[in-house]
Every structure is written in C-alpha cells, then in structure tokens.
Structure 1
Amino acid sequence: MPLLGHLSLWLAFLVGLWGAITGFVGGAPPQGRPDLQQSARYATFAMFGALVVAVISLEIGIFRHDFSLEYVAAYTSRNLPTFYLWSALYAGQKGSLLFWATVLSLFAALVQLMTSGRHRVYLPYVAAVTCAVAAFFISVMLFAANPFERLAFVPLDGRGMNPQLQNPGMVFHPPMLYLGYISITIPFAFAIAALLSKRLDSDWLVAIRKWTLVSWLFLSIGLLIGMWWAYVELGWGGYWAWDPVENAALLPWLVMTAFLHSVMVQEKRGMLKKWNLALIIGAWLLSIFGTFITRSGVIASVHSFTQSSVGYFFLAFLVVAAALSVWLYVSRLPLLEADATLEAMVSREASFLFNNLLLIGIAFSVLWGTLFPILSEAIKGTKITVGPPFFNQVNVPLGLALLAMTGIGPLIAWRRASIPNLRRQFAVPLTSGVFVLLILLVGGVRDVGALMALSIGGFVLATVVQEFARGARARHRQYGEPTPYAIIQLLARNRRRYGGYIVHVAIVLLFVAFAGMSFKTETEATLRPG
C-alpha cells in the first residue's frame, strides 16, 4: 500500500500540472480551446481520484499499525484509541499536507460539477488555478515531506499522539480550519478567472457566493472549537492567547467577513469592485501565509509543527503567488471603475465601508503583531515578542466600534438617509442600549470595557429584534401570516439579510462572553497543614 500511495501522489502531481497547463491555455482568448478546457475539467476529477487512493493507502497503514511508515510510527501507537486514529491523518505535517491536497482536489471537482451554465465560462481558469495550487502541495509532499517515507527498521510500536492532542477537539478543530482555509481557493480561483477573462462585472461574485459562505462558516466553526479546546487545555492560555498560529487562522476570517459585507455594495450599487477583488486575493494569500507560519517554525507557537525545510517551499510559493496576483490585479485596474459613487457619508454603503475599514484595521494590527518578532530580528538582530497587552490595547476599541457598526448598518438607508428616517430607526435601539447601560451602572458594574460591550450589545440586539418585527408586521399586513410563520418566511425568502442578523446576534453573544473576563478574579492562598 505505501508504494501504491507514493505512485498515486506522482500521478496526482502530473495530472495537476496537466490540468493547470490545459486550463490556462484552453481558456485563453479570443476563442479558447474547447478540447483543452474539457481536458482541464477531467484533470480535476483524475487528480481527486488519485489523491483519494493515496489517502486510503495511508489510512490503511495507520489502522494496520504499519510502523514501517515513518509517519505512522511518529503519530500513532498500538494503544491509541480508534477515535484518534482517524485524526492521525492530519496530526502531523506530512499527513496534513495530503489531507489539504485531497480536500482541495475535491472542491476543484465539485466546482466543475456544480457551477451553473452562465458561469461556466470561468471554469477553465478555475480548473487551472485549483490544479496549480494542488500540484504545489503535492510537490511539497514528493520532494520534502512524503507521508509514505519508509523507515530503515520497523519498530515494535509507534511514539503515539501527543497527549494534549488526544482531545475530541482534535477530531473536529483541525478539519474545520483546514476546510475553511482550503475552500478560500475556490473564490480566489474565480477572482483570477475574472481577471484573466476580463469579465469583471458581478457575475463572478454570484458564482462564488456559496463558496465564500462555506469558507467563512468552516473558519468560524474551527475558530470557535479551537477556543473551546484551548479553554479546556488551560496550559495553552485560556480560550485565546494571541498565539501566532491562532492569529494566522483569524486573519483570513477577518478579511472574508469584510468581503461578505462589501460584496453587497457591489451587487446593489456597482461600487467597491477593486476592493472586493483585493479582499478575495488577500484572504487567499493570508491562508497561505497562515500555512507558512504553521509549518515553517519561524515563529514560536504551541500549535505549529516543528521547524523544517517545508517552510521555504511555502515562502517561495507565497512570494510568487503574491507577485503574480498583484501584477494581474494592477493590470486590470482600468477595467474596474465603479458604476456609481458614494452619495452621502450617512448611508448603507458608507456603513459597510466603515465596517470594512474596521475589520481590515484589526487584521492589520494582528498581522503586524504576529510578524513583529521576525521584523525586529531582521532589523535589530533581537527577536522582540509582542504579547496579549498589545493586541488587546489595539483591538478592543476597534472591536467595540465594529460591534456598534453591526447595529448601525441595518438602520441606515441606501444612497442617503434622511434625519426623520434616522430618528425613527434609531429610537428603540438607542433607548435599549442606554437602558442596559443604566442597569449595569445600578448593578455596580464600573469596568469601562464591560459597560461598553454590554450596552452596545443591547443596542445591536434591539436592532435585530426591530428588523425582524418590522418584517414580520409587513408580511402580516400583506399576507395575513401569523408572526412565527412570518419570521420563518423572512428567513426563507431573504436568507442573506435575516441570516446575517442571526450572525450578528451570535457576535453579540461572543462579545458578552469576552466582557465576562472583566469580572475574572484570581487569588492565591496558603493552606494550613491538615
């Protein structure tokens, strides 16, 4: 089976290269080559099939305790519970690369099967990009981190999995983050396809709508499970320690969140075309950056793999991919002029823009703090680590402003908001926020951060309730629907808007939990003998 797995990797690599070449050549203007386009499409299926064979080969080695495989001996043992044997596939660097490439090839095949007719014009380039990225990951396995590497001797037992990794979180947290990271490649591939084909209207945004939501959802679930797991493993610094690998996972989530908001402005008003493309490209580059941080060992982290030559592969790939993406983006800037301009600073468009600026501001501060040890060592020769105080001091005010924007945005009209409309829209939410603040003050809460987070949270919740109530009343007047059924219909018929409000409620709950840390107390006591 190891030989079959190794041969499958080579087959997947060669097929991936072929898919990349035929996709780029076949999609080239003016007419393209339909035969090469079809070949690129089939290449995604063949690559996925070959990688599935490789995964099955490695899993058979894991479950049969084939300790002749270096990877199996390093991350499993005979007494490792079956529950964790499944997670051994991605417990180490080599296996996780195989997992990544296989899932990416699955997504590449699915997008070829599921994309509707009018968006199929992008598919040759999408196949090319996904095949090229997958081929890179496979090349890293073949030349630097082969999961089918054999040992010179066969040990009686393996070293087993790190005890800290033997937690239910290990079964769910890494796959969720991987799925989030990997699925960003699909929107990125469509963005590159739109740039190469010069089809830069909103069509490509419609094509990636579900994929961006899938990516954002997986990243969100992965981050939440990771926070829970870290809270269980108190030695890892509670639910969030601003660890470099934690930060690397947060960065693409922040950028994808910004995109999910700004894309509505482009679809509604034809604005922010340049910005949206930059966000998608940036999110994907940050996912590769996070992979580099995790696998290079250049920054100390309890979550990262050991330092290895794999990091150089990812650094080179990141630099080349960034250079090519930026060059292509800049060359298409004249084609990305907005269809409309911002008419007023008090408008829904402006609120989305402020929302994006806050999210990108948080992302920049996290990126700067994460890279600071590397930069300080390169410039001064001394590695200076930035700790939680820096991140908290910068991001808490930005986070509170962002929380406020989740309540302000839905209350402001598109194009231009009038004073009477603003008074009517803000009356109940503002009153609710002030009411929560007064209750907290009467209750003896004096921590400024907690007061702001909880009162702004009350404002946002009131906004959400008001939006649902108005929508339900409108449906009741028009269709005579009872309130519960009207709310269900609101969610069913306008999932983006009202589903977004539910997400806003979840964000409020997170901030309430964060505010709870203000009431944390630590005491030390000495016990008498006996």
Structure 2
Amino acid sequence: MAEFGRLALLFALGLAGYNLVAAVAGRRWDGALTSARNGLLGVAVLLTGAVAALLTALLTHDFSIRYVAENSSLEMPRIFIFTALWGGQAGSLLFWAWMLSALAALAVWLHFYAEARLIPWVIAVLSGIQLFFLLVINFLTNPFEKLPVVLPNGRGLNPLLQDPGMLVHPPLLLSGYVSWSIPFAFAAAALITGRLDRDWLQVTRAWAMLAWLVQGAGLVVGGWWAYHVLGWGGYWGWDPVENVALLPWLVGTAFIHSLMVQERRGMLKLWNFGLIMAAFNLSIFGTFVVRSGVLTSVHSFAQSSVGPAFFTFLGISLAASAALIFYRLPVLRTQGDFESLLSREAAFLLNNLLLVGIAFATLWGTIFPLLSEAVRGEKLTVGPPFYNQVNGPLLLGLLLLMGVGPLMGWRRTRPAALLRDLLGPALAGLVAVGLLFAVGIRLTEALLGFWAVVFVAGTVFLEFYRAVRVRRRAVGEGIIPALIGVIGRNRRRYGGYIVHLGILLMAVGVIGSNFFKLEREFTVRPGETFSLGRYTLRFERLGEWTDPGVRNVGALITQVEPFERELLPHRKFYRNWEQTPASHIEVVTVAPWLEDLYVFLTGWAADGSATIHVFVNPLVPFVWLGAAVALFGGVLAAWPARQTRAAPAAVPARGVVAGGG
C-alpha cells in the first residue's frame, strides 16, 4: 500500500503540472483545454487512490508506515481509525488535496461550457494550488514514508482526537477551507480575462455558499467538541486556531451579502473581488498557522518543515491577488453613486465594514504575539477580554443592522416609513426587557443584548407576516401553506431570513452563557455534598476501571437537587499518552431552565478526595439550536433556483440576509 500511495502522489503531482500548462495553452487550442479538464479528473482519481491506500494501511495496522505508527494502534476503536486519516499533519494535508481535486473536477465539469471563456484560467489557478499542495505532500510530509523497522504496535492517536466530534469537525473545517478555492479561481479568471460582468457572480455565489455552509458547520461542531471534551466550560475561547478558522467565514459572509449590491446596482465590484480573494488567502493563512506551529494552540500541530513553504505560498498568493485587482482597478470602479445613507446599498456597505472590522480585530489579536516577539523580543499574549471588548460592540452593531437592513429599500428609504416599521419591533424589545428586569435581571449589557435580539426578531417576523398576508389574499391559502409557499418561491431571500433567526437564537445562548454563568471548584471527600446555584450534588466515591489500552479514573456523583440522577465524570489515560489524558465530562441539559449542568473531574488524592469543577451554563442549548436553524436556512438560500439568471435590476429583493436578498 505504501508503494502504491507514493506512486499515486507522484503521478498526481506530474499531472497537476501538466494540467496547468495545458490549461494556459487551451486558451487557443480546444484539444489542450479538454485534456486539462480530463487531467483534473485524473488527479482526483489518483488522490482518491492515495487516500484509499492510506486508509487501508490504517485499517490493516501497517506499522511499517511512519504515519500509521504515529497515529494509530492496535487498541484504538475501529471507528477512530477514520479519524486518524486526518488526525496527523501528513494525512490532513492529503485530505486537503483530495477534497480540492474532487471539487475542482466537479466545478470544471459543471461549468466547462457555460463559462467557456473563464474555464482555461480557472483550471490553471486550481492546478497551481494543487501543484503546491502536492509538492508539499510529496517532498516535505509524505504520509507513506516508511520506517526502517516494522513496529509491533503504534503510538495511537492523540486522546483528544478520539472523540465522535473529531469524525466530523476536521473534515468539515478542511472542506470549508478547500471550498474557498473554487470562487477564488473564478474571481481570478474574471480579473485575468476582464469579464467582470454578473456571470462570474452567479457561479461564485453558489460555491461561496457551499464554503460558507461547510465551514460554518465545521466551526459549530468544533465548538461542540471543545465544550464536551476540553473541560473549561465554554465553546469558544478565542484560541488562535479557532480565530483563523473564523476569519474566512467572516469575510465570506460579507461577500455573500455584498454581491447582491453588484447584482442589483452594479456597485461594490472592488469590494466583492477583494472579499473573495481575502477569503481564500485567509484559508491558506489558517492552514499555515495550524501546520507551522508558530502559535500555541490546543488544535495546532508541532513545529514542522511545512511552515516556510506555506508562508511562501501565502506571500505569492497575496501578491498575485493584489496585482490582479490593481490591474483591473479602473474598471472595478462603482457604477452609480449612493443616493442616500438610508438605502439598502448603504446598509450592505456598513455590513461589509462591520464584518471586515471584526475579522481585522480578530486577525490582529491572533498575530499580535508574533509581532510583539519580532519587535520587542517578548511574546505578549492576547486573551478573550481583548476580543470581547473590541468585537462585542461590532457584533452588537451587526445584530442591529440585521433588523434595520431588511426594512430599507434600494436607492433611498423614507425616514418616516422606516421609523414606522421599526417602532413595533423596538417596543416589543422594550417589553421583553421590562419582563426580564421584573424577574431580577439587572445587568445592562445583557438587557441591551436581549433587547437587540427581540428587536431584530420582530423585524424578521414582520417581513414574513407581510409576505404571508399578501399570498393569502392572492391565492386564499391557510397560514402554514402560505408560509411554505412564500419560502419556496424565494428560497434565497427567506432562507437568509431563517439564517438570521438562527443567529438570533445563538445570540441568546451567547448572552446567557457569558453573563450569567456560575462556576466553582470543590474539593470533597466521599459522602460530602456541594452546591452551585439550584443544584446540590453528593460525591460518593472514586472508581478506577480499564478498557482496551485505556485506564479510567472517575468520580461517582449523585445529583440530589432539583432532580436525582447519577453522574460519572472521569479521565481517560491512554497508553503512550499518560501526560495527555482525555476527559469524559458530564453535561446535563435541564429543560425547565434551558441551562447546562457541567461537571468536570479535575483531580483526586490518595485519601479518596476529589476535586470537581462545576459550571452552570444558562441558555447554552440555544447555541446548538440556533446553529441548526442557521444551517437549515443556509441550505435553503443556497438551493438552486429554477431560473439560473439573475432577476432584472428593476425588480427589488428585500433583505440584508446571509443567503440573499
């Protein structure tokens, strides 16, 4: 298998180089272009073979291969063998290249004839990206490198990765990174050829939506994994690797909104090209940060030889992107002016500024330790307080814009009409704040956040109400059929509104878990009780047991109040990973109060006592519920419409939405 995998990678490298040359030649020679298209499919087939070879080696425990020996063992549950495929650096890069080859082949086959003038350069750009990754894989971190001797057993996968979340999170996140390559290639091709009309937008939007959805799902699953595995009671810690994964998603979100202005008014062309170029380059930056080990993170690999290669490629990509935009700068100027600050165009521009501002603040906080070390010789860390203080107001502004934007019209909006539309949602928010104040919530930041959530929800429901009312009058349907009909006839617009509703639900969870979380650590002896909030727990005893290759130490705890149940938080010590134990954390969602009781075993002593860390995390279930709603809305918004061409510019589409207007 090792020899087959090495040969497949070498042939894929050679074929990617050929495709690059043939695609450029294919501008004037149809035969070369067809050959390059077929060559993309060939690279996908070869890399599929390489992935199959590595997976077979993992499943058969071929410990003559270094990657297999370092990332698997005889004791590992078979299901986590699949996790080992992307659990190490070489395997994850192979997965990156494989997904790129599959998406590149699919994109070119789908658009080969419809976008004939762009396709030669699309193939060339994608082949250039493939060429870089295959050079790195073949010569710097080959997953099929042989060991001098065959080991009887492997080291096993990092215990933190032997979790169901790792079956989903890395492939989603890597696929999200990869997916930005497709819209980047079409944007680059449009700039090279000068075909800057709406056609490239139609193709690019579909692939950008795919990248946005997949990477968004990866971020959510990553948060769920961190919440259930790492033991610090949270789902987002502003870790450097979390940050760099968020960056392309933020910029991509801005692009998905901004392109609607170009579709309708021919404006923000420069913004759109800049945003999609930035999304791709930030995905490469994220890959560089994780692979180089230059920043300390629970998610990153150790320092390796691939860091300089990725840094060089990132520099080349940034320079090429900037050069292309500068080359076409005269024709990227806005067609038309902003007629009023109270217009949908202005709302979209403000949306861009806020999202890019959040992305820049996050990027600055992430790279600041490197800059401080380079300038002062001292690596200064940037923690969550910085991000919360800087990004918090920007996120609040973005939330409010989600409420105001859908009620604005193109070109200009009458202030009196806008205020009339906003009055009801604003009053609903005040009523909600009054009720929260009456039940004892006094924290100003939390009350402001809840007001914003209710206000925005009111404007979204107002849009749904108006559309349903019009449809019911027109066709005489009931409320539910009319609602389904409204969504079905304009999935892009109302799917985007559903995304906004999902984000509002997530905001409820974020506000509750950040402002009202309770936390305390207890050291208790068997039979002692301890309390936090409304919960009373009793520590019964420590226990120890073994599973294949794993030693477990747990604390048997009885929850006494308000419900009685048994909890067993425990630590898992894997062979060869004694210094990196995994944790089983008891997370109990209490439905009546919509909060999580979170119990983590921190440590224990020879006298039988245990140290237990307990959190009460209010409203966290709304984070996961909101994410599911947002992803559902994103799928609706991304679903292809019956018409492939954009509607005429004179037909308005309302809404500042993630999926469309």
Please give the alpha-carbon distance, in whole angstroms, between the structure 1 residues aligned to 2:62 and 2:218: 31
Q: Using a 3 Å threshold, how does the CA distance of structure 1 residues 319 and 219 change in structure 2: closer, same or farther?
A: same
Q: Secondary structure at the match of 1:334?
A: helix
Q: 1:13 maps to what in 2? A: 13
Q: 2:549 maps to what in 1? A: none
1:449 corresponds, among 422, 442, 445, to 445
Aligned-pair distance for 1:150? Answer: 0.2
**Pairs within 5 Å for 1:66-465:** 66-115=62-111, 117-235=113-231, 238-465=234-461
Aligned-pair distance for 1:524? Answer: 4.6
Please give the alpha-carbon distance, in whole angstroms, between the structure 1 residues aligned to 2:525 and 2:322: 66
Please give the alpha-carbon distance, in whole angstroms, between the structure 2 residues aligned to 1:524 and 1:168: 28
Please give the alpha-carbon distance, in whole angstroms, between the structure 2 residues aligned to 1:463 and 1:482: 22
Q: Does 1:502 align with 2:502?
A: no
Tell which deviates more after alignment, 330-339 or 197-206: 330-339
Native 8 Å contact 1:400 1:452 kept in 2: no
Q: Secondary structure at the match of 1:120?
A: coil
Please give the alpha-carbon distance, in whole angstroms, between the structure 2 residues aligned to 1:477 and 1:25: 59
Aligned-pair distance for 1:426? Answer: 1.2
From the CA coordinates, give the structure whose radius of gyration is larger: 2
Aligned-pair distance for 1:449? Answer: 2.1
Q: 2:516 maps to what in 1? A: 519
Q: Deviations over 1:347-402 (max 9, x none)?
A: 11111111111110000000000000000001011111111111111111111111
Native 8 Å contact 1:126 1:193 kept in 2: yes
Q: 1:39 maps to what in 2? A: 35
Please give the alpha-carbon distance, in whole angstroms, between the structure 1 residues aligned to 2:271 and 2:105: 28
Q: 1:3 maps to what in 2? A: 3
Q: Secondary structure at the match of 1:311?
A: helix
Aligned-pair distance for 1:523? Answer: 3.3
Please give the alpha-carbon distance, in whole angstroms, between the structure 1 residues aligned to 2:92 and 2:523: 46
> What code does the residue aligned with 2:404 have?
I
Q: Secondary structure at the match of 1:339?
A: coil
Aligned-pair distance for 1:101? Answer: 0.4
Aligned-pair distance for 1:24? Answer: 2.6
> What code does the residue aligned with 1:522 have?
E
Q: Deviations over 1:22-76 (max 9, x none)?
A: 223323xxxx322222122111111111111111111110111000000000001
Please give the alpha-carbon distance, in whole angstroms, between the structure 2 residues aligned to 1:43 and 1:299: 37
Tell which deviates more after alignment, 514-523 or 251-260: 514-523
Native 8 Å contact 1:271 1:338 kept in 2: yes
Report the identity percentage: 50
Q: Secondary structure at the match of 2:458?
A: helix
Please give the alpha-carbon distance, in whole angstroms, between the structure 2 residues aligned to 1:139 and 1:233: 35
> What code does the residue aligned with 1:439 have?
L
Tell which deviates more after alignment, 361-370 or 75-84: 75-84
Aligned-pair distance for 1:529? Answer: 7.9
Q: Using a 3 Å threshold, how does the CA distance of structure 1 residues 107 and 236 change in structure 2: closer, same or farther?
A: farther
Please give the alpha-carbon distance, in whole angstroms, between the structure 2 residues aligned to 1:428 and 1:439: 17
Q: Using a 3 Å threshold, how does the CA distance of structure 1 residues 484 and 452 change in structure 2: closer, same or farther?
A: same
4+ residue runs over 4 A deviation: 524-530
Q: Secondary structure at the match of 2:518?
A: coil
Tell which deviates more after alignment, 351-360 or 119-128: 119-128
Native 8 Å contact 1:236 1:302 kept in 2: no
Native 8 Å contact 1:376 1:382 kept in 2: yes
- RMSD between aligned alpha carbons? 1.3
Q: Deviations over 1:436-495 (max 9, x none)?
A: 122222222122221111110001111111111100111111222222112112211211
* Higher fraction of strand: 2
Q: 2:25 maps to what in 1? A: 25
TM-score of the two chains, using structure 1 as the length reference: 0.97
Please give the alpha-carbon distance, in whole angstroms, between the structure 2 residues aligned to 1:313 and 1:234: 31
Please give the alpha-carbon distance, in whole angstroms, between the structure 1 residues aligned to 2:196 and 2:17: 27
Q: Secondary structure at the match of 1:461?
A: helix
TM-score of the two chains, using structure 2 as the length reference: 0.78
Q: Secondary structure at the match of 2:267?
A: coil
Native 8 Å contact 1:373 1:386 kept in 2: yes
Native 8 Å contact 2:342 2:415 kept in 1: no
Aligned-pair distance for 1:296? Answer: 0.3
Q: Secondary structure at the match of 2:200?
A: helix
Q: 1:469 maps to what in 2? A: 465
Q: Secondary structure at the match of 1:523?
A: strand
Aligned-pair distance for 1:238? Answer: 2.1
**Any gaps of 5 or more consecutive residues in structure 2?**
528-661
> What code does the residue aligned with 1:507 have?
I
> What code does the residue aligned with 1:159 have?
R
Aligned-pair distance for 1:116? Answer: 6.9
Q: Deviations over 1:157-197 (max 9, x none)?
A: 10111111111110000011011110000000000000011
Please give the alpha-carbon distance, in whole angstroms, between the structure 2 residues aligned to 1:362 and 1:56: 40
Native 8 Å contact 1:262 1:276 kept in 2: yes
> What code does the residue aligned with 2:207 have?
W
Q: Deviations over 1:314-371 (max 9, x none)?
A: 0000001111111111011111122221110011111111111111000000000000
Please give the alpha-carbon distance, in whole angstroms, between the structure 2 residues aligned to 1:118 and 1:303: 41
Tell which deviates more after alignment, 229-238 or 136-145: 229-238
> What code does the residue aligned with 1:519 have?
F
Q: Using a 3 Å threshold, how does the CA distance of structure 1 residues 52 and 236 change in structure 2: closer, same or farther?
A: farther
Tell which deviates more after alignment, 76-85 or 187-196: 76-85
Q: Using a 3 Å threshold, how does the CA distance of structure 1 residues 486 and 299 change in structure 2: closer, same or farther?
A: same
Please give the alpha-carbon distance, in whole angstroms, between the structure 1 residues aligned to 2:459 and 2:475: 24
1:62 corresponds, among 58, 74, 78, to 58
Q: Deviations over 1:482-515 (max 9, x none)?
A: 2211211221121111001000011111111110
Please give the alpha-carbon distance, in whole angstroms, between the structure 2 residues aligned to 1:237 and 1:97: 31
Q: Using a 3 Å threshold, how does the CA distance of structure 1 residues 173 and 439 change in structure 2: closer, same or farther?
A: same
Please give the alpha-carbon distance, in whole angstroms, between the structure 2 residues aligned to 1:216 and 1:529: 50
Please give the alpha-carbon distance, in whole angstroms, between the structure 2 residues aligned to 1:171 and 1:526: 35
Please give the alpha-carbon distance, in whole angstroms, between the structure 2 residues aligned to 1:355 and 1:16: 39
> What code does the residue aligned with 1:334 have?
P
> What code does the residue aligned with 1:291 have?
T
> What code does the residue aligned with 2:14 have?
L
Please give the alpha-carbon distance, in whole angstroms, between the structure 1 residues aligned to 2:232 and 2:200: 41
Please give the alpha-carbon distance, in whole angstroms, between the structure 1 residues aligned to 2:112 and 2:480: 34
Q: Secondary structure at the match of 2:168?
A: helix
> What code does the residue aligned with 1:521 have?
L
Please give the alpha-carbon distance, in whole angstroms, between the structure 2 residues aligned to 1:475 and 1:356: 33
> What code does the residue aligned with 2:276 have?
I
> What code does the residue aligned with 2:188 have?
I
Please give the alpha-carbon distance, in whole angstroms, between the structure 1 residues aligned to 2:7 and 2:67: 17
Please give the alpha-carbon distance, in whole angstroms, between the structure 2 residues aligned to 1:526 and 1:45: 60
